[in-house]
Chain A
Amino acid sequence: MTDGKTVNVLVVGIGGQGIILLSDILAEAAFESGHDVKKSEIHGLSQRGGSVISHVRWGTKVHSPVIMDGQADFILALEEIEALRNAHVAKPGGMILVNDFRSLPASVVSGAAKCPENIESRLAEYASVEKVPATSIARELGNIRTSNIVLLGALSRHLEIADAFWQAAVKKHVPKKYADLNLKAFARGRAAEQHPSCTVMI
């Protein structure tokens, strides 16, 4: 709000999906391309399969670590229900990139609660929606744990951050032996538009 040029990305999903790694890489790439950056998340119990949210913001000068409601340029959702939970943070005219993956919360599994329906069309009430088959692509690559990096690759198409910074940031944050796999995952996400199976499996 203080700075019109601040870019706000909210990353959401569930514990174990690599949200913190994704945001680390995103924040690093933004930092290396010369911005002031803030990245905020909640550690602790969130690892154990609960909802996880990370805020990444960059611009000339960033103050608050947390994005205000209605101000996220992008929401990166590694899971569909989490996308809906956080859709109100998207700014009108913003974009929600949503992975083709759904995991039912325990209360739905146990029958105590119902899973919301028509998630996709409801997301579209908040912002434009881009479906990214990140988990399908990651599965093709032989490791569904790279879904996060595929989704990041898809986001990168919308950002003015040079490819070299992305490559360097991925290499810096993933273990050496997985660097190639993750760079491949990133490239697949970046090219996802051309991917034929570009549908969400809901």
Chain B
Amino acid sequence: MAERQLMMGNEAVARGAWEAGVKVSTSYPGTPATEITEYMSAYPEVNVEWSVNEKVALEVAIGSAFAGARTIASMKQVGVNVAADPLFSLVYSGINAGLVIITADEPGLHSSQNEQDNRYYAKFAQVPMLEPSDAQEALDMVREAFEISEGYDTPVFVRMTTRVCHTACVVEVGERAETPRRPYRKNSDKYTMVPSHAYTRHFEVEKRQTRLEALSNTSELNRIEMRSLEYGVITSGLSYQNVREALPEFSVLKIGLTYPVPRQIIRNFASQVRYLYVVEENRPFLEDEILALGIPVECKELLLRFGELPAEALRRRILHVKSPQKGPADDVPKRPPQFCPGCGHRGIFHLLAKHKLIVNGDIGCYGLAALPPYNAMDTLICMGASIGMDHGFRKVIQPPEKSVAVIGDSTFFHSGMTNLANLVCNGGNSTVIILDNRITAMTGHQPSPATGKDAGGTNAPRLDIAQVARALGVSRVFEIDGYDLDALEKCLREEVDRPEPSVLVVKERCVMVDKTRRGVPLAVGKKCKSCRACLKLGCPALTVEGDRIMILEYLCDGCGICAKVCPIGAIRPGGAEND
């Protein structure tokens, strides 16, 4: 009997790729895709790398696929934006060995800066797209995607969404099928996209498109499940599971090969039911395709275009059935995440708030600084943007307005470096603060180029941020301990007003990586006047009982930032008897 395991969707993707004989796996971390590559790195047959960003990850993947090895590149939804440039021309070249790109989308943006729907990339770039609804399908579809990739000479997208990535299901696993390397033969008509070659390759793309449309209309990935002759639903991905949960009597056209859209099957299904619904999260991708066929659909305005679309919402909006329970309590204060006790990011953001600087921010754990109680970040758009935005701000702002850019180490290497080069060669004068905890913390501690480890945990060359900054032409480069508030403040004061660029590398540690406490736990002594200055640090170890401020010993890291911030020195080491 085949082996069955409980497996998270992302693990199933890795397993499917491994079973398909993948030899190279590339990625840049990003929720909800990250674990795919972590699981890949457990397979000794696969060369796995964390690339510095998604564009590089895809380019490395293109190289290994051209050279003849089955390859998988995984990224979160916004990662595809970064990788879009190579993607669109790769489609013209096609592949040699199979190349599958995982896009992990996030309806509900639990950990993302937007809710973009990457099904549109499939249509935009003309890349076939498969959409699994659970972990078993993820495994099976990744294997199938490699067959399609090689059968049609095209990269293939597999679109995951958070609830497919992070849901564990019972999965039947198979064996690895070793695939011999496909020989690489020089073929510049196919692999060099100069205009004349690209022009001819575009014909190939259109021919392939016709073949893919035929495939979609005959593929078993697109299947009709007839139940009611009254009500039918067209759906794909996770929504299929929610439809089965909430609307068990409805007939379903389950679309697994979402692009190209299976027009004939849709027509066929639509003709068999009286009322047709389309259930999909985010944008009306399928709905627009269906409407374009002249097929009417029911009450589309019932479905939200933002957030997740769980079974609960379908029950309420389509069946008009309410929960049998009373509604949620409406007075429960939210509990957003916070900087950990001892987090190296805390001190610098305290200073940035204190000096009321305009903080052009970036993405990482430190993005939490945008929220209360820190309130120490003004802008946050996409990875790497802080430095460019600050350069732009400084073209416009006038004293007393002052600004800085803040960026993490992984984000600096992802796309901050080019921004720093731009700043220097365009005569910018920004103060760039680089928070160097030597890890990609937010996504779960993958190595960054500042870590000195590869994806498998083996020692690797470590890039030194201060050296990089100097090499890019910044002459004022400082490295300061993130817990040394005095030194940080002095440097900040001096550099912000200077008419030349400077880089302040804040040396930190991530407490989730280096778990040794920095000092003995602190306590609040009797002379505390409850001024609450320390509470603005948003440290989970600081709490209140009535008016009294207390430190939870079991959480305290002993980092001492709160003691430095206390105006009367009431916070000191060693139990309540410290008065």
Q: Is A28 an interface residue (CB 8 A)?
A: yes
Q: Which residues of A contact B540 (CB under 8 A)?
A: 49, 103, 106
Q: Please tell me if the beta carbons of B442 and A44 are within 8 angstroms of each other in the complex.
A: yes
B542 near A: Cβ within 8 Å? yes
Question: CB of B126 within 8 A of chain A?
Answer: no
CB <8 Å contact, B323 and A70: yes
Instruction: Tell yes or no: B197 within 8 A of A by CB.
Output: no
Which one, A24, A37, A81, A88, contacts B328 given CB within 8 A? A88
Enumerate chain B residues within 8 angstroms of A14, measured Cβ to Cβ: 335
Residues of B within 8 A of A47 (CB): 337, 444, 512
Q: Which residues 536-568 of B sit at the A interface, judged by CB distance below 8 A?
A: 536, 538, 540, 542-544, 554
B246 in the interface (beta carbon within 8 A)? yes
Q: Given the complex of chains A and B, what is the CA–CA distance between A39 and B51 in angstroms? A: 30
Please state if A39 and B6 are interface contacts (CB–CB under 8 Å).
Answer: yes
Q: Which residues of A contact B335 (CB under 8 A)?
A: 14, 49-51, 81-82, 85, 105-106
| Cα–Cα distance between A130 and B35 once the two chains are bound (Å) | 36
Using CB atoms, name the residue of chain B closest to A48.
Answer: B337
Contact A88–B327 (Cβ < 8 Å): yes
- Number of residues from B at the complex interface, CB < 8 A: 61
Chain B residue contacts of A81, Cβ below 8 A? 332-333, 335
A44 and B536 CA atoms in complex are apart in Å by 24
- Across the two chains, which residue of chain B brings its CB closest to A111? B532
Q: Give the distance in Å from the alpha carbon of A31 to the alpha carbon of B171 in the complex.
A: 11
Q: Which residue of B lies closest to A41 (CB)?
A: B166
What chain B residues lie within 8 Å of A68 (beta carbons)?
245-246, 310-312, 315, 323
Given contacts A38-B168, A48-B365, A65-B167, contact A87 B328 (CB under 8 A): yes
A2 touches B244 (CB 8 A): yes
Known A2-B245, A27-B168, A109-B535; judge A91-B324 contact (CB<8 A). yes
Q: Determine how close the nearest CB of chain A comes to the CB of B233; give it in whole angstroms.
A: 13
> Is A104 within 8 A of B246, CB to CB?
no
Residue of B nearest to A15 (CB): B337
Q: Which residues between 105 and 163 of chain A lie within 8 Å of chain B, taking CB atoms?
A: 105-116, 122, 125-126, 144
CA distance A126 to B323 in the complex (A): 12
The answer to whether A106 and B538 have CB atoms under 8 Å apart is yes
Candidate in A68, A71, A82 with the most chain B CB atoms within 10 angstroms: A68
Min C-beta distance of B335 to chain A, whole Å: 4
Is A48 in contact with B338, judged by CB distance below 8 angstroms? yes
B339 within 8 A of A: yes
Bound-complex Cα distance A73 to B35 (A): 30
- B336 touches A (CB below 8 Å): yes
Partner of B333, one of A31, A37, A86, A107: A107
Q: Are B328 and A49 in contact (CB under 8 A)?
A: no
Q: Is the CB of B325 within 8 A of A88?
A: yes
Q: Which of A71, A88, A106 contacts B373 (CB 8 A)?
A: A106
Residue B525 is within 8 A (CB to CB) of chain A in the complex: no
Are B310 and A36 neighbours in the complex by a CB distance under 8 Å?
no
In angstroms, Cα B8 to Cα A37, docked, is 11
Q: List 18 A-B contacts (CB under 8 A).
A: A1-B248, A1-B315, A31-B170, A37-B6, A37-B170, A39-B168, A42-B111, A47-B337, A48-B337, A48-B340, A48-B365, A49-B540, A64-B310, A65-B167, A68-B245, A84-B329, A85-B335, A107-B334
A interface residues, Cβ below 8 angstroms from B: 1-2, 14-15, 24, 27-28, 31, 36-51, 63-66, 68-71, 81-82, 84-92, 103-116, 122, 125-126, 144
6 A-B pairs with the lowest CB-CB distances in the bound complex, closest first: A44-B111, A70-B325, A48-B337, A50-B337, A64-B245, A70-B323
